Structure 1
Amino acid sequence: MQRWERRLSDAAHALTNCGETYFEPDLFRRNVNQFLTIIRTVTFLIAKDKANIPDYEKWLSSAIGKYWSGDEVMLWAKESRNYIEKEGDLELFSSLSVALVYSYFTENDASIEIGRSELLSGGIKKLMRLAEAELPHGVSAAAAVKIERRWVANTLPNYELLQSMIYVYSRYRQACADLAEYLGIILSTTIPTAESIGEGEVHQRRVSYVKFSDKASYSKLTHRVEIDRTITPPIWLKDVDRTRPNFEVYAEMAERTFLHFGNHLAMVFVFSENGTILQHLAFTPFDQVDKFIFWRDLAERILYLRAESLIFVSESWVRKDPGLLTPIAQAEILGEMLHVHEIKRTGEVSHKAWDIERVGDQVSLAINDNDSLEASGFPNYLVPIREAFTRIHKR
């Protein structure tokens, strides 16, 4: 390992400890201080090795200056390290809140700050009564109360603290990965990715949901599967021309996959600036609430991965407009479609759709040129993603 690799590994360990002690205030404070102090020294050690890095200033500008300049969270991390070393602890605040969730848009949420844990039950009941009284049945049937415990630093009040540190770590890790590639070496596989740290059990304990449909409590769980590099593409996928733009490649693969299996799982592919896959996610939502949760959480990932683009492949029912009184799951089904959407950080959106036709055991696809974004409008579920890309663009 290079010196800066070992220090990055130390930072990953401190960040993992932050997650594991999230609900132990004093230990969490110590681990936050340790992480912010350690992570800043990664670039110090890189600078120490600049004699061994060809065109160091040029690399520094392209790999760090280009992406970190003007980034509010990265600036906060830098200043926090200086404050911790010279002044003392950051001021941290823990809060407990409940919010009524009934759409993909966080601005629609009705929130209540809970001062004491024993008042949580009352807050949940209050929001449920509010939804039953104010929302049409078709909307409230697909609603949930979100319960969130969060740490916030007084110097970064608009961001949850652990997610902010995961974002900071992701930027440093990417810089180290870029440097390793630049030097013709491979970043140590023992250094965890930001998303693997962000998928720990702390998320289940930090955020939970009570669904209106059954009044039961739920939390999000991600199951991580490591890539099997011994697998080669099957014959029916081998001749796909992968030199084309990502959208064209994945649209063709989606079409071939559906025709081969007769179905297609809902899949999301998240890409970096150079076109490589940062994450590949498959999900199977049980109801509309699950979809709200998935796309909101994915928007958070987009932020700390600082992704460049996203492709979403899915089947969907074509339903008769249910209005506001009937839950969408009970609306009349008129047909099936296969969709591929791409959205980029620049705001550019691409879309392709096929009508699914089934006759007995036979299935076929027919291009639907009428299902354009101009005709159907921008999908609501992609709005959180678009907003996340906009925030990245502004940083």
Structure 2
Amino acid sequence: MLKIQRRWIANSLPDRELIYALTYAYSELHRVCKDLATQMGSALDASVPHPTALDPSSNDVARVRFVKFAKPGIGRHTSVRMNQDPNYKAPPAFVALREALCLAPKPSSLADVVAMHAKLAQATFEQHGNHIPMLALYDKTWKQIDFMSTAFTDQSEKYLFWRNVADRAFYLKAFAMVWTSESWVRDISEGAQRPIHELPIIGEQLHVVGADASNGCEVVSWEIERSDGAGGPVLTRLSPDDPRQAGHFNFTKPVVAAMKMAHSSGAS
């Protein structure tokens, strides 16, 4: 009986190992129970693990290991869950923005969600003078189902990060992603001859990039201008047809492919 059950799960999720299938099943059960608790005016007990706590890519269940030729030893991807600081007091600008967003209609499209994140990104940058990378995943009803940040030490870690995001998007059955991050703008005229990290930096931008399983794409970008004086950095919003606007965000492609797989008839 166990063998039949295992074969059925594996066959229902092509190209996925059993552990990913079980993680997917648990995330679906968690979603149903959470929605039921909300419907009844309650909430899941804090001791119930979130599906991302069982992420096979960030624990030893899948036993995925990586080797960097420039660094000795074997590495692995890790994720750390952080609780909200109960003593945190939001600045007045954030309180005002939260109140405005609560009064606004609920987002009902990718454009709405990206516009909301753009307001948050601009307020965050103007408050702190910078913006750490942030990723949010949404379900088909435009409810946020996952949120994370990251720190990259080199180019290879970006590939590992987006591989893990694709896995999470699949087993959480995400429909859309929104990525907020600062980025360097480089001169790519010699891109075919030199590694990207050696290309000259010619500017900085702040991006909010949204993509979904229906091939939707929404981008909001700002040019970051830094003065030599005491003043902080200034954001200048770029229009969609501005030549300074970055062209392609290829890192979204594996995540979009995973979201499409999650919403295909075979994974429903």
For this structure pair, what is the TM-score category when the shorter chain's length is used for normalisation?
A: 0.7 to 0.9
CA distance in 1, matches of 2:166, 2:123: 28
- How far the C-alpha of 1:274 sits from its partner, in A, is 4.0
Query: Given the superposition, is the C-alpha separation of residues 231 and 157 from structure 1 closer, same or farther in structure 2, using an over 3 Å criterion?
Result: same
Partner of 2:193: 325
What is the SS of the residue equivalent to 2:65? strand
Query: Given the superposition, is the C-alpha separation of residues 310 and 89 from structure 1 closer, same or farther in structure 2, using an over 3 Å criterion?
Result: closer
CA distance in 2, matches of 1:215, 1:325: 27
Greater share of helix: 1
- Please point out which of 57, 60, 85 is paired with 1:228: 85
CA distance in 1, matches of 2:11, 2:260: 24
Aligned ranges for residues 1-395 of structure 1 at < 5 Å? 83-84=1-2, 90=6, 158-198=15-55, 201-202=59-60, 206-214=63-71, 216-240=73-97, 241-242=100-101, 243=104, 245-321=112-188, 322-360=190-228, 361-362=230-231, 363-369=233-239, 376-394=246-264, 395=267
Partner of 2:108: none
Contact in 1 for aligned 2:10/2:21 (Cα 8 Å): no
Query: Given the superposition, is the C-alpha separation of residues 88 and 355 from structure 1 closer, same or farther in structure 2, using an over 3 Å criterion?
Result: closer
Contact in 2 for aligned 1:351/1:372 (Cα 8 Å): no
1:218-245 alpha-carbon deviations (Å, 9 max, x no partner) = 2111111022355353212122221253
Gaps of 5+ in 2: 106-111
- How far the C-alpha of 1:202 sits from its partner, in A, is 0.9
CA distance in 2, matches of 1:371, 1:286: 32
CA distance in 1, matches of 2:242, 2:218: 9
Contact in 1 for aligned 2:213/2:257 (Cα 8 Å): no
TM-score, L = length of structure 1: 0.58
Query: Given the superposition, is the C-alpha separation of residues 384 and 364 from structure 1 closer, same or farther in structure 2, using an over 3 Å criterion?
Result: same
What is the SS of the residue equivalent to 1:228? coil
1:313-350 alpha-carbon deviations (Å, 9 max, x no partner) = 11111101142331111111111111011122332211
CA distance in 2, matches of 1:229, 1:273: 30
Query: Given the superposition, is the C-alpha separation of residues 387 and 372 from structure 1 closer, same or farther in structure 2, using an over 3 Å criterion?
Result: farther
- How far the C-alpha of 1:297 sits from its partner, in A, is 0.5
Amino acid at match of 1:340: V
Amino acid at match of 1:341: V
Contact in 1 for aligned 2:6/2:18 (Cα 8 Å): no
Amino acid at match of 1:332: P
- How far the C-alpha of 1:304 sits from its partner, in A, is 0.9
CA distance in 1, matches of 2:73, 2:194: 22
What is the SS of the residue equivalent to 1:278? strand
- How far the C-alpha of 1:367 sits from its partner, in A, is 1.4
CA distance in 2, matches of 1:229, 1:275: 27
Amino acid at match of 1:279: D
Contact in 2 for aligned 1:354/1:368 (Cα 8 Å): yes
- How far the C-alpha of 1:372 sits from its partner, in A, is 6.5
Alignment size in residue pairs: 251
Identity %: 28
Gaps of 5+ in 1: 1-82, 92-151
Contact in 2 for aligned 1:314/1:338 (Cα 8 Å): yes
- How far the C-alpha of 1:303 sits from its partner, in A, is 0.8
Q: Which has the larger Rg? A: 1
Contact in 2 for aligned 1:353/1:371 (Cα 8 Å): no
